[in-house]
Each structure stands twice: as structure tokens, then as C-alpha cells.
């Protein structure tokens, strides 16, 4: 395998639950900051965002 081909292949890293949690939290907090979400809807929205991120990173 040529050096260029090796460089293009990235190793598959496991995404931790903590990493998914942090990303989901940042997204939901940003939604609250820009007025797209109220804090009272946090729980339902956080759950949906978390699950969407989890499906995305673990689907492959």
C-alpha cells in the first residue's frame, strides 16, 4: 500500500457516551441561547438530540 493510501485511511475510534453527551449539551444550550428552545423543553429536546448524535456516530 502506498504512503498516500495509508494517510487517507483513518483509524476507527470509538466515540464515548461522554463525548456524545458533551456535544448534545452544547447543541441544546446553543438552541436555548439563540431562542429556538425554551429551558422547559430541555429534557425532551436533549434526549432527541443525544439519540440522533448517537445513531449517527455508531451507525457505521
Does residue 8 surpass a pLDDT of 90?
A: no
Nearest 5°: the CA angle 59, 54, 20 is 135
Burial code of 6-44, b = ≥16 C-beta within 10 A, e = fewer?
A: eeeeeeeeeeeeeebeebbeebbeebeeeeebeeeeeee
Does residue 4 surpass a pLDDT of 60?
A: no
pLDDT in tens, 27-60: 999 999 999 999 889 899 999 999 999 999 988 6
Show the cell assigned to 16: 464515548
Q: How far apart are CA 15 and CA 58, in angstroms?
A: 8
Amino acid at each position: 500500500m502506498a504512503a498516500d493510501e495509508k494517510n487517507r485511511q483513518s483509524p476507527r475510534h470509538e466515540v464515548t457516551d461522554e463525548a456524545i453527551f458533551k456535544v448534545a449539551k452544547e447543541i441544546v444550550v446553543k438552541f436555548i441561547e439563540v431562542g429556538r428552545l425554551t429551558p422547559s423543553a430541555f429534557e425532551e429536546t436533549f434526549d432527541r438530540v443525544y439519540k440522533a448524535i448517537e445513531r449517527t456516530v455508531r451507525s457505521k
